[in-house]
Amino acid sequence: MEKEVHEQYEYARRRIKQKKRLYFHFVVFVLGSLLLFLGHQFLNSNVISDWYQWIIATWLFLFILHFIKIFITDRFMNKDWEREQIDRLVALQKKKIEQLQLQIESEETNNSI
């Protein structure tokens, strides 16, 4: 039982760390976007007028990917999901090995006749 409690604690700690990084990413994104906007206003860049918008849009896309990973993907693909997948694959391998053993045994009996 103690092992399960420890695993739950580690999972909760890891999730909190992930969410903390996401929130930090959001704050850096907002501040960085603001700095890019202000930099554009002060530089009066006329060569490419929307350069900062492209950077902010790309950064927003990366933030959305980060958000999806934390709140959608990692939510259902956790340790329990991994264990279920491993157990399922091990069961399939065992079944295949049993089928091969039965096939070998039947071929041996056919060859001995």
User: Is 76 a residue whose pLDDT tops 90?
Assistant: no
Within its chain, how far is the Cα of 21 from the centroid? 14
pLDDT average, residue stretch 14-19: 90
- Greater pLDDT, 49 or 63: 63
Contacts of residue 64, defined as CB under 8 A and 6 or more positions apart, other chains included, come to none
What confidence category does residue 45 fall into, taking pLDDT thresholds of 50, 70 and 90? Answer: low
Q: Give the C-alpha separation, 87 to 94, whole Å.
A: 10
| Phi-psi sector, 44: left (phi>0), alpha (psi -120 to 50), beta | left
Mean pLDDT of the residues in the chain: 86
- Global pTM reads 0.64
Domain boundaries, the chain: 1-76, 78-113
Query: CA torsion sign, 28 to 30 to 34 to 37?
Result: positive
> Which has the higher per-residue pLDDT, 11 or 34?
34
Max mean pLDDT among 21-30, 42-51, 79-88, 91-100 falls in: 21-30
Contact assessment for residue 11 and residue 79, using Cβ atoms and an 8 Å cutoff = yes
pLDDT of residue 78: 74
> In which band, very low, low, confident or very high, does the pLDDT at 48 lie, cut at 50, 70 and 90?
low
Task: Count other Cβ atoms within 10 Å, centred on residue 52.
Answer: 19
The band of 6, judged by pLDDT with boundaries at 50, 70 and 90, is: confident
Average pLDDT value for residue range 54-73: 92
